[in-house]
Amino acid sequence: MKRYTIFVITENFIGILNRITIIFTRRGINIDALTASESRLEGIHRITIEVTATEESVIQLVNQIEKIIDVIKAFYHEDDSVVYQEIALYKIPVSRLDSGLEKIIRQHNAKIIAAEPDFVVLELSGHKEQTQELLEILKTYGLLEFARSGRVAVAKRMLTIDSFVK
């Protein structure tokens, strides 16, 4: 079992995400994270799916995803052939802000993106290990709320999707 990133290039039609996730459900494979956004081409969406599975099952998933009528192309990559990033938000009570926390924020390159009378919101982008490390520390600072995005990723190879979109 390994971590893989699956890219799905698809028409932006209602229900397409459902059709894709059904394929994972049928095979009993859990989706670790999923993000969807418009691609740089109008009307075409890209969905990024992170799974932990064997390569053999990922190949079959990709084949079956590509079989969906409105899917243009699907690829899979191992972690070292994609550049990826996740974003995490941490909500901390103002009462716990002190110089120790300020040091931690600096060390992790986190940013304060909102300051309210009762709380501040920190933001950190990076790989899961990095955002997780900060999470563990902030738990000792009365962390009120935490949210982490799925992975957004681009492939390292130079191939573009234009050739699949006539």
Q: Which residues bind another protein (CB under 8 A)?
A: 10-11, 14-15, 18-19, 22, 26, 59-60, 63-64, 66-67, 69-72, 165-166
Q: Which amino acid is at 73?
A: K
Q: How far is the CB of 69 from another protein (least distance, A)?
A: 4
Check if the beta carbon of residue 47 is closer than 8 Å to that of residue 7. yes
Q: How many residues does the chain have?
A: 166
Q: In terms of CB distance, is 19 or 96 closer to another protein? A: 19
d(C-alpha 93, C-alpha 115), whole Å: 10
Residue number, 23 or 112, with CB nearest to another protein: 23
Count of other CB atoms within 10 angstroms of residue 129? 7
Q: Which is nearer to another protein, 65 or 82 (CB)?
A: 65
Nearest 5°: the CA angle 42, 48, 49 is 150
Give rounded-to-5 percent helix, strand, coil for the chain. Answer: 35, 40, 25
**All residues at 6 or more sequence positions from 104 whose CB lies less than 8 Å from its CB, including other chains:** 110, 134, 137, 138
Which residue, 32 or 66, is less far from another protein as judged by CB?
A: 66
- Three-point CA angle 37, 42, 45, nearest 5°: 30
Q: What is the closest distance, in whole angstroms, from the C-beta atom of residue 157 to another protein in the complex?
A: 21
Q: Give the shortest CB-20-to-another protein separation in angstroms.
A: 11
Q: Which of 22/94 has CB closer to another protein?
A: 22
Nearest approach, Cβ of residue 45 and another protein (Å):
11
Least distance in Å: CB of 11 to another protein?
5
